[in-house]
Each structure stands twice: as structure tokens, then as C-alpha cells.
Homo-oligomer: A and B are copies of this chain.
Amino acid sequence: MIIDKLINKIQELQAPIVVGLDPRLSQIPSHVKDPIYAEQGKTPAAAAGAIFAFNLSIINSICDIVPAVKPQIAMYEQFGPEGIACYRETVAYAKSKGLIVIGDIKRGDIASTAEAYSDAHLGKTDVEGEDMPIFDTDFITVNPYLGFDSIDPYLTDCEIYDKGLFVLVKTSNPTSSQIQDLKTADGRPVYAHVGELVDHWGRGLIGKHGFSSIGAVVGATHPAQGQELRELLPQTFFLVPGYGAQGGKAKDLVGMLNKDGLGIIVNNSRGITGAYQTQKYRADKKDFAEAAREAALDMKADLEAHL
């Protein structure tokens, strides 16, 4: 089961880390992008080409030390069809290097529409009777605001194709409290109710480590809520954004672990892919892929020291 594959890789590499592939053009060195612009002009297609070249080097540099990558589809969608093609190629290349791929798409829609998203991202799209994989990621993130029938099509594909979800429960951003923390009539916040729904939705997909392939997104920036959710949802694996750039610290994550020290995979995007632009790594005049590797190893050491 995909959640076991993820946990096995985390244990093998001793690194509960997912590298976010959310490249901005300003993050891509001139020596990578200028040859592409020289050939194609400064077009959306050329921008997508530059991003793919950047991703390829990052993936090569970190694929033996982290279990997973998480491309954020918005950073590709912003360049139109060519950007989406780059997203697909990035997913395929990362998988070819043995990485587990979490597509950060945060889709959420009514059932008939969710089916189309699920076919595209987890399952296969039916083209006149022939089933074709389109993006074929291992996990995707989804938004629960529409309730069960917006999630059900993904659950079906998770079972058929051995895929997984991370459902938004308590996000890392500053205003996540506006809706997610609303206190309900029973005294508990909205996110606790959402967490219980996620637990319920995942009951049919529990792997051998005791975690479900249906996980939750819980921000590193909310340690108290993270601990509360761990107690409430012992079988739910957490994808944890917000470490590093957004302010989350390794010590904030302790409460999200179970007694076996399992239960989370922590995302870092700019902190790794943009490491070469920071004083710490630039000082060594490292190239961006080397700097990313070093930053990933430093993050591993930071997590090991605190978890």
C-alpha cells in the first residue's frame, strides 16, 4: 500500500522529508535559463523548459536522500498548457528516480467533477474506451469543504490504483483560523470535525504500519493543534507544510508523532530548492543542486536532533 511504501522509505532514509518543487523563475540561475531563452525567446514555454531543467538537477541531487517530492501545480499552471506539460514531466522524472510524488493540487469539487480530477491525477482518463494515465501522481492534496461526495471518487481510485490523499485539515497559513478554527456548538473547532471525517474516510485503507493512505495536511505553524490532531487521529498520516520559510521549527513537530516516532512527512520548498540564494549556502559558492542537497541533509539533521 502506498502509505507503507512512503513510511518504509522514510525509515530507510531516516528522513521524514518531502522536497517541494515550486520553482519561481527568480530562483533559477541564469546559466540554466539563458540558453533556453536564447533559443525560444522569453515565452511561457521557455519558462516551463527552464523550470524542468532546474527540477531535473534538483531531483538528481536529492533523490537518494529524501523519500518524496511535492510539486505545487499552481507554479506550473501559471504558464498555461506548457506549464502543465512541465508538471507532468516533472512527476514522471521524479518517479523514474524512485521518488514518491505528492501532487499539491488542492482540488475540491462535486462528485462528477471530482471524478475527472481523480482520473487525471490518480487514476486513468477514459478516452473512448481506452484508459490512459495523465499525471499519475502517488498522492494528491484535496480540499474537504464540499464534504464526502467530493472525496469519494478519489477514495475509489486510491483503492484501485494504490494511491493516497492528503486532505486539508489545519493549514499552515496565517488566516487558516478564520474558518478552520471556528468553534462549533460542541465546543470543538471546525478542523477537529474535518479531521474526524478524514479518519473515517481512511478506515478502509490502513496499511501495515497502522496508518491510512488517506492522510491530512496539518501545518507546522500550529504545534498545539498538531498534537491535538495526533491524539484524535492515531491512524492518520500528516503532511506538514510550514517548516522553515513559514516559521515552523523542528521542535514544533514532536507532538505530531506517535509512540513509534512515526506519523509525519515535513515539506520544505524554498528552503531547499532556493538554498543556493541564501547567505549560508552561497558562502560556499555551491551550485544550486549541491546547495539543495546540503540543505536537505541539514534539515534531516535538524529533524533528527529534535524528533
Interface residues, chain A, CB within 8 Å of chain B? 22, 25, 37, 42-44, 46-47, 72, 74-75, 77-82, 84-85, 88, 106-111, 113-114, 116-117, 119-120, 125-130, 132, 134-135, 143-150, 168, 171-180, 182-185, 187, 190, 193-194, 197, 241
Contact = CB atoms under 8 A, between A and B. Distances in A.
A28 to B, nearest CB: 10
A245 to B, nearest CB: 9
A263 to B, nearest CB: 22
Nearest to A148: B175
A110 B173 contact: yes
Q: How many copies does the complex hold?
A: 2
Given A25-B127, A37-B128, A78 B173 contact: no
A148 B178 contact: yes
A198 to B, nearest CB: 11
A171 B193 contact: no
With a 10 A CB-CB cut-off, give which of A127, A148, A241 has the most chain B CB atoms. A127
Contact of A47 (B106, B127, B146, B241): B127
